[in-house]
Amino acid sequence: MPTAPQAPPAELCAADSGPVSLHARDVVFDFSQSPLEWIPGEAVASHTISALNLMLPVGEKMFVEIFGRALPHIKDEQLRQDVIGFIGQEQIHASTHDHALSEFFVNHGIDVAAFTASCESFLEVLRTQLDRLSAEAEYRIVVFGVGMIAGLEHFTATGGDWLLNHDFEKYGADPVITDMFRWHGAEEVEHRSVAYDLARHLGVSRGTLVAQYIAMTGAVLSGLVVGGALITKGDPRVPNVGPITALRLATKAMNSGSLFSWKMIGSAFRAYLRPDFTPESIGSTAQAVAYLAKSPAAKAASHA
């Protein structure tokens, strides 16, 4: 079994590393030996975090679509390069979580075919409808989408920081799944400013960004609860669990420390609403880059 990845030493996290050149990193994950309950004794925590595999691919493919259409409107060259790096990272994220859907869940008898088909149908409709719009109308939709993505990226950066610092080893978590989420979380911290900076560059006001973030909060949390309940229902050891019961059990897992807490979610919510908010206030680029340099999946890809 692969060695469990460890969080970066404290000395690597003490100071930020400053600006970095964003780029996609190839990764190789083998989920064949990863159990469905990848945090032993913590089925609901396992399945709630695993619900990200259901939510992320469609979101990240949408990010790539919207940001790709935003590129011609970017006047700042450094921001343009950051957006290109962001797009590359999101493409790898989407393909990795698609791989988890097609291998990890299928290996454990959880049928996600209908879910993935509906996601792909949604993306195709999005592309088709955008192509039919006038240039002016497409631009307005793209700017609106970038603002929404800025709010979503605050969630992912906050979650990424938690994933990097949570002591999964204390709970005996599966090293491959742990590495997948930490690798992804590290890149979310690394590129946490891009969507927000792009939204501001395109003229999205702070008030609009706040309103969009509030609107997305319920959608993200609902997706985690419903997705976690779907996976939990497919686990024969935890039968007959609906969204309400899943939410209650998830709260219990939060209280035990095996899952991110309501306090963390609330703190992130308040942070985004502050007039002086900046994405750089979330997490540490130095810590993220340090983990990405030692991620077993990234190392495996470099030697493939």
pLDDT (tens place) for every residue of the chain, 304 residues total: 334 444 444 334 434 555 678 999 999 999 999 999 999 999 889 999 999 999 899 999 999 999 999 999 999 999 999 999 999 999 999 999 999 988 999 899 888 888 888 889 999 999 999 999 999 999 999 999 999 999 999 999 999 999 999 999 999 999 999 999 999 999 999 999 999 999 999 999 999 999 999 999 888 888 888 888 888 888 888 767 777 887 888 899 999 899 999 999 999 999 999 999 999 999 999 999 999 999 999 998 877 6
103 inside domain: yes
Which among 154, 146, 119 is positioned nearest to 265, based on CA atoms?
A: 154
User: How much is the pTM?
Assistant: 0.90
pLDDT of residue 230: 81
pLDDT of residue 304: 66
42 inside domain: no
Gyration radius of the chain's alpha carbons: 19
pLDDT of residue 39: 95
pLDDT of residue 18: 57
pLDDT of residue 5: 41
157 inside domain: yes
Which among 261, 264, 242 is positioned nearest to 252, based on CA atoms?
A: 261
11 inside domain: no
Rounded distance between C-alpha atoms, residue 149 and residue 194, angstroms: 10
22 inside domain: no
Domain span at residue 127 reads 51-299
pLDDT of residue 249: 84
26 inside domain: no
pLDDT of residue 157: 97
pLDDT of residue 115: 82
Please answer whether residues 228 and 23 qualify as being in contact, where contact means their C-beta atoms are separated by less than 8 angstroms. no
Per DSSP, the residues of 181-225 read HHHHHHHHHHTTTHHHHHHHHTT--HHHHHHHHHHHHHHHHHHHH
290 inside domain: yes
User: How many structural domains comprise the chain?
Assistant: 1
9 inside domain: no
Contacts of 33 by beta carbon, 8 Å cutoff, 6+ apart: 1, 176
Token pair for 221: 């949390």
pLDDT of residue 248: 86
pLDDT of residue 12: 41
Please answer whether residues 174 and 35 qualify as being in contact, where contact means their C-beta atoms are separated by less than 8 angstroms. yes
Token pair for 275: 């007039």
